[in-house]
Every structure is written in structure tokens, then in C-alpha cells.
Amino acid sequence: MDMPSEFAGSVNLNLLLQSLRLDDHDAALREAERIIRGGMVDWEELYDIADAHSVKPQLAQMINGITPDLMPDSFREKINSAYQKNLYSQLGFAAGFLKIKNLLEQEGIIAVPFKGFWLAHEMYGNVGDRESTDIDLFINFRDFERINILLQGIGYQPEKNMINYPIDKLEGKSCEYTLNMFEDKILVSIIDLHWKMSPPDYLMDISLSELNSQIIPSVFQDQSLSVFSPSANLLLSVMHHGGKDPLTRLKHVYDIARIIEKDCITDWSWIIREAKRFHVEDLLMTTIKVASVITGVKIPQQINSGIESKKINRLANNRIRAMAEPPARWRKTRVIINDWIFRLRSRDSLRVKISLVSHFIRKVLAPRLIPKSLHFMFTKKKISDDVQG
């Protein structure tokens, strides 16, 4: 599958893509220097695109391998400053997680980290190499109330719109719950508690108990902890990035590429079985296809035959074109509708499709047609999901 022309038509995006290549770093640096020597790079826009796609660490790493006099010193300083700031943030999240882990373990509660600093540590090799803004924990919902009380006991507060939400309705209405910590009115930490992978309408309600076979022991900063296997990390990333979210950010496919690059998945049969059970098999194949096209990572032999169908190529082309859209257009109606069409086409169950259409009408279409004064009926952040999903 050829790279869509939208990428070649954007000098800045094409340059950014070189920072995501995993197949040939030297060739990527040579191509990046060729692009820069062409003199058409808009450095401010390049930074903004990397920021929107949450891949500033990758851009910084590439920039530091390029001849210094090819770019403004101010840009090099700006991107490296962002890289360092992200490293400090992720170290803070890691420290926060260890504190919470020890607190919960004392109460006999299991909370498994996923995405965030842990994915960076395990699959990227450095916690500073992946951008994230919170601590994501997968929990059993039966432990939710106890965890909520314990976290509030060390200074966390539920988001305002969640404070009075009935606990007995929460499990069936949402998939996560957010708590924040403030110091001198400044937000310093965010925790997202997850008990399934998506809002109810998306029908990807895999739970921690269903993932028990994929929880393995590991070590982080000399502390033992329970984590998800690479197989579970891949499946959950596909569900989150391509099912719950519409697979439009380069960071999302880069996550998939880094997991595959590690060549650490030994249970493809479990992944395929669970993907079929939750009707995300086409989504799995599409996400891996896009990751391969964007980064050059090799498609695993175990699934190679499922990647080359016309349907998967059409879906992959659709998402690559979506990623080529300027970030300023992401909230345009045309783009959002296309994202939802992708969601519908990448799921292979009539029940799922009907549920997603219903969600689209209630959470996306209706709020755009009804006066803002009545939007509370359709959008409650985190509880009902935002207009993009």
C-alpha cells in the first residue's frame, strides 16, 4: 500500500514521519536532512503538529541527530525543553503510581498500570519517550469504592461532575473515573481508574478478571508489581486507540509499532480469540497495518495473511488520510463523521454497529443540532463520553 499523497504534500508532516521510522534510522536522518535543506519547513507548525500527535519526544530524538546548523537554535531548544519536561512528568507519574500501588497492596487490592509511563518503560525503553498526562490503572469495579476512599485520603479529588454521580449506576454507564490532585490550586496529578475498556455503547467491556491470564509479575525501580503481558498491552491499545478513540494520532500507531518491534508477543492465539470475541479483529489488523506503513515495522508472520485483504487496506488508507489532516480540522464535522464511519466499518458485528449508530446520534449528532443550553442532556464528560468519543 502506497503512502497517501497527503503526506508527501506536507513538508512538515513528512519531516515528522521520519522521526517515527523504526526500520532504518540512518535513512530516516538522511531523508530528514534532505527535507530540511529544501528550505520549506515551518518550524512553528512542525512543533504544533508533533504536539497535537503527542510525539514530541520522537521529534526531539531525531532533531538531536541532525546537523545543528540546519535548523534554528530556538527550535532545537524548544523541542528539547518539551522532551525534558515530559521526562520529569513521567517520572512524577511513576513515583505517584508506586505510592498508590503500595497503598492499595496493603489493602489487598490489585491495580494494574497500562498505557502511560509503564508502556513507555516496557516497550519504548525509557519513560520519557512517550507522552502522557495521567496515571491509568485497570481495576476490578468491586474495589472501586475502597480505592476511591483511599485515594481521597491521600489528597485526590474526584472531578467535579463525578462527585455526586450514583455509584450503583457508574459501572453500567461508564468505563472510567477520574481523580485529580491539586497543590496551591495547581493540578499536579491525574488518575484514571478503568474497569473496562470502553463506554457501554462500544461493546468492548473486557474486564480485569477476563485479563487475569495475562497479568504477569514484573519489576520497576526495584519494586515488584503486576502488569499486563505484551499480548494484553497490544489488545488493550488497539481497543483504546482504535475503538474508543478513532485512531487519528500518530502516537497511537507508534504505541502499536513499539510493541510489535519488541517481538515479545508469544500468545497471538489469545489476541485473535479475544479480538473476535469483542468484534475488533478487523480493527486489530487495520491498526497493525497502519503502524507498519507509518513506521516501517515488520508485520508479524503469525497475522500476515489477515493484513492484506482489500477491506483492511481500505480501512488503513482511511486512517492514514485522517492522520494527514491538519490538527485544526480535527473537530470539523466532516472529519468527525469520517471517524465514526471508520468505527462502524472496522467492527464486524451488527449489534455493535447498531449500538455505535445510536451513540453517534445521541452523543455527536444531537448536541450539534440542539441548543447549547440543553447539551447537558447529551454530554457529561467521562460519564457519557465527549462528542468525538
pLDDT for res 365: 86
Condensed to tens digits (0 to 9), the pLDDT of residues 170-184 reads 888 899 999 999 999
β partners of residue 136? 192
Q: Say yes or no to pLDDT of 279 above 80.
A: yes
Sign of torsion over alpha carbons 34, 40, 44, 47: negative
- Mean pLDDT value of segment 33-40: 94
Q: Say yes or no to pLDDT of 3 above 60.
A: no
Lowest-confidence pick of 3-17, 119-133, 278-292, 354-368: 3-17
pLDDT for res 363: 83
Q: What is the mean pLDDT of the chain?
A: 91
Contact yes or no for 214/123 (Cβ under 8 A): no
Q: Quickly count: other Cβ atoms within 10 Å of residue 77's Cβ.
A: 10
Q: How far apart are CA 117 and CA 124, in angstroms?
A: 10
* pLDDT band per the 50, 70, 90 thresholds, residue 2: low
Contact yes or no for 111/139 (Cβ under 8 A): yes
Q: How far apart are CA 139 and CA 192, in angstroms?
A: 10
Q: How far apart are CA 285 and CA 192, in angstroms?
A: 28
- Mean pLDDT value of segment 104-121: 96
φ, ψ of residue 300 to 5 degrees: the values are: -60, 140
What is the share, in percent, of the chain residues with pLDDT greater than 70? Answer: 93
pLDDT for res 160: 84
Contact yes or no for 246/209 (Cβ under 8 A): no
* pLDDT band per the 50, 70, 90 thresholds, residue 381: very low
- Mean pLDDT value of segment 46-59: 98
Contact yes or no for 363/384 (Cβ under 8 A): yes
Q: Say yes or no to pLDDT of 73 above 70.
A: yes
pLDDT for res 266: 85
Give the gyration radius of the chain's Cα atoms.
Answer: 21
Q: Which amino acid is at 262?
A: K
Q: How far apart are CA 44 and CA 264, in angstroms?
A: 38
Structure-block grid coordinates of residue 354: 447498531
pLDDT for res 308: 86
pTM of the model: 0.92
Q: Say yes or no to pLDDT of 25 above 70.
A: yes
Q: Say yes or no to pLDDT of 163 above 50.
A: yes
Dump the DSSP string for 268-290.
HHHHHHHHHHTT-HHHHHHHHHH
* pLDDT band per the 50, 70, 90 thresholds, residue 388: very low
Q: Say yes or no to pLDDT of 384 above 60.
A: no
* pLDDT band per the 50, 70, 90 thresholds, residue 376: low
Q: Say yes or no to pLDDT of 209 above 50.
A: yes
Reduce the DSSP state of residue 224 to 3 states and report it: strand
Q: Say yes or no to pLDDT of 379 above 90.
A: no
Structure-block grid coordinates of residue 236: 488493550
Q: Say yes or no to pLDDT of 231 above 80.
A: yes
Q: Say yes or no to pLDDT of 71 above 80.
A: yes
User: In terms of CATH architecture, what is 84-377?
Assistant: 2-Layer Sandwich (3.30)
